[in-house]
Amino acid sequence: MKHEQMYLHPELETMTRPEIERLQLERLQQTVRSCMRSPFYQQRFREAGLTPDSIRSLDDLQKIPFTTKQDLREHYPFGLSAVPLEEVVRLHSSSGTTGTPTVILHTQHDLDEWANAVARCLYMVGLRKGDIFQNSSGYGMFTGGLGFQYGAERLGMLTVPAAAGNTKRQIKFITDFGTTALHAIPSYAGRLYEVMEEMGIDPRRDTKLRTLVIGAEPHSDEQRRRIEDMLGVKAYNSFGMSEMCGPGVAFECPEQNGLHIWEDYYIVEIVDPDTLEPVPEGETGELVLTTINREAMPLLRYRTRDLTRILPGDCPCGRHHKRLDRMKGRSDDMMILKGVNIFPIQIENILMQFKELGNEYLITLTNLEANDEMTVEVELNDFTDDYGFLQNLTKAITRQLKDEILITPRVKLLPKGSLPKQEGKAVRVKDLRKTLI
Amino acid sequence: MTVHQLSVFVENKSGTLLQVLELLKEANIQLIASTISDTVEYGIYRIICSEPMRAYETLKQAGISANLSEVFAIMLDNRPGRAADAIRSFSEAGIGISYLYSFLLSGKGILVFRTDNPELARKVILEKKLDFIEEGRLLGMA
């Protein structure tokens, strides 16, 4: 294949390491200067005794303190803005389920560059103008919707913004419109196949699907192969997070061996989550990202809490942008279910509002038939001989949990003393999902 | 008119029922009637027994979730249609039966039940002259 046919941005994608690092330093210095317009970073730099001039090399990045999700919460909504608010054209917000939501701001430049990054990812796995791209992500505040939408349009594909849910309708779109590429979370891809089978649709024979973009949910290579076999597609792993725009941060190339992280957008560090020191090359640690191509709300050394490592060696695809291994988990206790991020504390907060319930609870995650399920077992304080009461209580707890975590768990009330007594650090989550990392 | 019923909240798990029964056995408590239904989520084991208070204390001390409540008990001749007659009285008065179980004791049929309107149920039992039984009498028959 000719050079320009393999890469959407050949001049950026095939940069050599020295070229990448030169660009990174230039953009980092620019970013740090812009950060001085944000009250938050002004104060951070002052406290650390730093000025923008302190950053003379990429190694100097390590002098800068980390930024955390807590910082975003504490300076909600606009405290990290590095441009006047009238320059901001969009904001995305987390659902705020763990307390104060976090907000990410974008200028028009940021949105353009975000779309370019997503377009680059999609082009990398062979999608072109002429493809029909269906997106089963939720739209609105969730970045997987608009993020892929603008990226796919940037590439000139015909886009089908199907959004989440209604599986039969998704399948009708796939067959009627001749969808060739689909973005879905891995567990939903399995669900689509099940329903296709029920409807008597053979994905290989009856659809034009050939590319699947999967992400937002930890999955193993085995799970990917299963999805590929079921649907007759190639499936590529996508990594993004709302704090870094959303999708388009890192993406697999056709080699399907690690996700190239776009180093013209981000500086990557892998640190030990306890000591916060860099880990030796190739070892697993927490992913820390610095945005170097964002105007409205640059983030310096943002702790993502995702655990991964940099794959050693060169990639045969010709891109020198570092490759991230599959996410190996989290350095906090966040769970990812059906693509939704959930913290145990959210569940605990709801349970503790019910005076009928005791303090002991256990969250169990399973994935029978490719669907993630959550079971919440909780002890009942006082027992009354009344099925109606128990049923209504179960319903009320289920409804409140659903409102909080956006997923309907199975709630099971247990007699007092049924759950193992917790000593030391409580084990609140049992993840029994198979084929996961 | 009512008897004590011991209700035990049992986890739907092998061995929990046996644990309750063993405890009652050790306390030398006799079962007169008991019932449990096969719901998926909760098991409520309902028991009529000798010395319900002591049975309740025994289970409580063993850390088992239990509850002592009063349920209606009426005695019927052991002939076809008696249960229908009794329940018709409640139905006509607009009283709902939350749950009911029955058993034979000394050749008599015993209906044990809870209603959604105990006050009205009391009146109906008296008006219709249903043969209600008190706890002492029931235990005496056992």
Give the model confidence (pLDDT) of A331-341 as tens digits.
888 888 877 88
Q: Do A416 and B44 touch (CB under 8 A)?
A: no
- The percentage of chain A sitting over the pLDDT mark of 70, rounded to a whole number, equals 95
Which tens digits make up the pLDDT trace of B62-93? 988 899 999 999 999 988 999 999 999 999 99
Whole-angstrom CA distances from A195 to A43, A167, A202, A370 are 54, 7, 10, 12
Question: What is d(CA A300, CA A142) in angstroms, rounded to the nearest whole number?
Answer: 23
How close A416 comes to chain B (CA, Å)? 6
Residues of A in contact with B10 (CB under 8 A): 415
Secondary structure (DSSP) of A112-166: HHHHHHHHHHHHHTT--BTBEEEE-S--TTSHHHHHHHHHHHHTT-EEE---S--
Question: What is d(CA A119, CA A137) in angstroms, rounded to the nearest whole number?
Answer: 17
* ipTM, interface predicted TM-score of the complex: 0.77
In this prediction, residue A336 carries a pLDDT of 84
**Contact yes or no for A139/A146 (Cβ under 8 A):** yes
Residue B22: pLDDT band with limits 50, 70, 90 = very high
How close B85 comes to chain A (CA, Å)? 26
Name the residue in chain B with its Cα closest to that of A414: B11
In this prediction, residue A437 carries a pLDDT of 33
How close A418 comes to chain B (CA, Å)? 8
Q: pTM score > 0.80 for this model?
A: no
Which tens digits make up the pLDDT trace of B2-11? 999 999 988 8
Helix (H) or strand (E) holding B90: helix B82-92
In this prediction, residue B117 carries a pLDDT of 93
Residues of A in contact with B99 (CB under 8 A): 387
How close B76 comes to chain A (CA, Å)? 26
**Contact yes or no for A192/A170 (Cβ under 8 A):** yes
User: Which residues of B sit within 8 Å Cβ distance of A?
Assistant: 5, 7, 9-11, 39, 41-42, 44, 46, 63-67, 69, 98-99
Please name the member of A413, A416, A417 whose beta carbon is closest to the beta carbon of B42.
A413
How close A352 comes to chain B (CA, Å)? 20
Burial zone of A424 (CB within 10 Å; 0-12 exposed, 13-18 middle, 19+ buried): exposed
Residues 6 or more apart whose Cβ sits within 8 Å of residue B32: B48, B49, B50, B103, B105, B138, B139, B142
Whether the per-residue pLDDT at A434 is higher than 90: the answer is no
Q: Do B41 and A412 touch (CB under 8 A)?
A: yes
Which tens digits make up the pLDDT trace of A163-200? 988 999 999 999 999 999 999 988 788 889 989 999 99
Residues of B in contact with A390 (CB under 8 A): 41-42
Residues of A in contact with B11 (CB under 8 A): 414-415, 418
Please name the member of B5, B41, B44 whose beta carbon is closest to the beta carbon of A394.
B41
Residues of A in contact with B39 (CB under 8 A): 387
